Amino acid sequence: MELNQTCHITGVITVIFLKFWPKSIKMIIHVTVPLSHLINAFHSPKKTSFSANTSVSQNQHRDVVPEREAPCSEPALNLRDLGISELRIGHIDQLIENLLPGFYKGKNVSSHWHTSHVSAQSFFENKYGYIDMFSALRSSCLYRQHSRTIQNICSDLQCWPVFIQSRGFKTLKSRTRRLQSTSERLAESQNTAPSFVKGFLLRDRGSDVESLDKLMKTKNIPEAHQDAFKTGFAEGFLKAQALTQKTNDSLRRTRLILFVLLLFGIYGLLKNPFLSVRFRTTTGLDSAVDPVQMKNVTFEHVKGVEEAKQELQEVVEFLKNPQKFTALGGKLPKGILLVGPPGTGKTLLARAVAGEADVPFYYASGSEFDEMFVGVGASRIRNLFREAKANAPCVIFIDELDSVGGKRIESPMHPYSRQTINQLLAEMDGFKPNEGVIIIGATNFPEALDNALIRPGRFDMQVTVPRPDVKGRTEILKWYLNKIKFDKSVDPEIIARGTVGFSGAELENLVNQAALKAAVDGKEMVTMKELEFSKDKILMGPERRSVEIDNKNKTITAYHESGHAIIAYYTKDAMPINKATIMPRGPTLGHVSLLPENDRWNETRAQLLAQMDVSMGGRVAEELIFGTDHITTGASSDFDNATKIAKRMVTKFGMSEKLGVMTYSDTAKLSPETQSAIEQEIRILLRESYERAKHILKTHAKEHKNLAEALLTYETLDAKEIQIVLEGKKLELR
Ligand X SMILES: Nc1ncnc2c1ncn2[C@@H]1O[C@H](COP(=O)(O)OP(=O)(O)OP(=O)(O)O)[C@@H](O)[C@H]1O
Where does this chain bind ligand X (CB under 6 A)?
Answer: 302-305, 340, 342-348, 399, 442, 444, 476, 504-505, 508
Distance of alpha carbon 415 from the chain centroid: 35
| Contact partner, 638, from ligand X, Zn ion, none, Cβ < 5-8 Å per class | Zn ion
The Cα 101–Cα 140 span in angstroms is 8
Min dist. Cβ of residue 578 to Zn ion (A):
15
- Helices 672-699, 701-714: axis angle to 10 degrees equals 80
Nearer to ligand X, 348 or 378 (CB): 348
Closest CA to 381 of 338, 327, 333, 419: 419
Please select the residue that binds Zn ion; options are 188, 638, 681, 703, rule is CB under 5 A: 638
| Contact partner, 579, from Zn ion, ligand X, none, Cβ < 5-8 Å per class | none
Vertex 135: Cα angle to 133 and 137 (nearest 5): 70
Q: Which pairing describes strands 461-464 and 591-594: parallel, antiparallel, or unpaired?
A: unpaired
Min dist. Cβ of residue 379 to ligand X (A):
25
Strand order in the sheet with 716-718: 591-594, 577-581, 716-718
Min dist. Cβ of residue 253 to ligand X (A):
50
- Residues in 617-636 that interact with Zn ion by CB under 5 A: 618
Nearer to ligand X, 48 or 403 (CB): 403
Q: How many CB atoms lie within 10 A of CB 505?
A: 15
Q: For this structure, is 721 an active site residue?
A: no
Min dist. Cβ of residue 731 to Zn ion (A):
23
Nearer to Zn ion, 530 or 638 (CB): 638
Cβ-contact 584, 537 below 8 angstroms: no
| Contact partner, 344, from ligand X, Zn ion, none, Cβ < 5-8 Å per class | ligand X
Binding segment for Zn ion (CB under 5 A), chosen from 236-244, 544-552, 578-586, 637-645, is 637-645
Closest CA to 399 of 319, 344, 472: 344
Min dist. Cβ of residue 301 to Zn ion (A):
40
| Contact partner, 193, from Zn ion, ligand X, none, Cβ < 5-8 Å per class | none
Nearer to ligand X, 378 or 463 (CB): 463
| Contact partner, 305, from ligand X, Zn ion, none, Cβ < 5-8 Å per class | ligand X
| Contact partner, 500, from Zn ion, ligand X, none, Cβ < 5-8 Å per class | none
Say whether residue 366 binds Zn ion (CB under 5 A).
no
Question: Per-residue string for binding with Zn ion, 580-619, x by CB under 5 A?
Answer: --------------------------------------x-
Nearer to ligand X, 316 or 566 (CB): 316
The Cα 728–Cα 707 span in angstroms is 9
Q: How many CB atoms lie within 10 A of CB 55?
A: 12
Min dist. Cβ of residue 504 to ligand X (A):
2
Provide the residue count of the chain: 734
Nearer to Zn ion, 560 or 647 (CB): 560
| Contact partner, 347, from Zn ion, ligand X, none, Cβ < 5-8 Å per class | ligand X
DSSP β-bridge partners for residue 406:
449
Helix, strand, or coil here: 349? helix
Q: Cα separations (Å) of 651 from 37, 646, 681?
A: 105, 9, 10
Give the count of alpha carbons within 13 A of 329, CB side only: 0
3-state secondary structure 20-32: HCHHHHHHHHHCC
Min dist. Cβ of residue 442 to ligand X (A):
6
Nearer to ligand X, 463 or 707 (CB): 463
Nearer to ligand X, 192 or 534 (CB): 534
Closest CA to 344 of 500, 473, 504, 464: 504
Q: Which residue type sits at 400?
A: E
Nearer to ligand X, 307 or 640 (CB): 307
Min dist. Cβ of residue 381 to Zn ion (A):
49
The Cα 116–Cα 98 span in angstroms is 27
| Contact partner, 342, from ligand X, Zn ion, none, Cβ < 5-8 Å per class | ligand X
Cβ-contact 394, 360 below 8 angstroms: yes
Cβ-contact 369, 377 below 8 angstroms: yes
The Cα 5–Cα 286 span in angstroms is 91
Min dist. Cβ of residue 640 to Zn ion (A):
11
Q: Which residue is nearest to ligand X (CB)?
A: 504
| Contact partner, 618, from ligand X, Zn ion, none, Cβ < 5-8 Å per class | Zn ion
Phi and psi at residue 543, in whole multiples of 5°? -65, 145
Closest CA to 101 of 132, 60, 143: 143
Q: Which residue type sits at 175?
A: R
Cβ-contact 316, 353 below 8 angstroms: yes
| Contact partner, 505, from Zn ion, ligand X, none, Cβ < 5-8 Å per class | ligand X
Min dist. Cβ of residue 309 to ligand X (A):
9
Cβ-contact 423, 377 below 8 angstroms: yes
Selecting among 400, 561, 681, 721, the annotated active-site residue is 561
| Contact partner, 504, from ligand X, Zn ion, none, Cβ < 5-8 Å per class | ligand X
Nearer to Zn ion, 398 or 568 (CB): 568
Nearer to ligand X, 116 or 313 (CB): 313
Helix, strand, or coil here: 432? coil
Residue 408 gets which letter from DSSP?
A: P
The Cα 309–Cα 470 span in angstroms is 18
The Cα 351–Cα 334 span in angstroms is 17
Min dist. Cβ of residue 614 to Zn ion (A):
9
Sign of torsion, CA 530 536 542 545? negative
The Cα 207–Cα 661 span in angstroms is 105
Closest CA to 657 of 673, 688, 678: 678
Catalytic residues: 561
Q: Which residues bind Zn ion (CB under 5 A)?
A: 618, 638
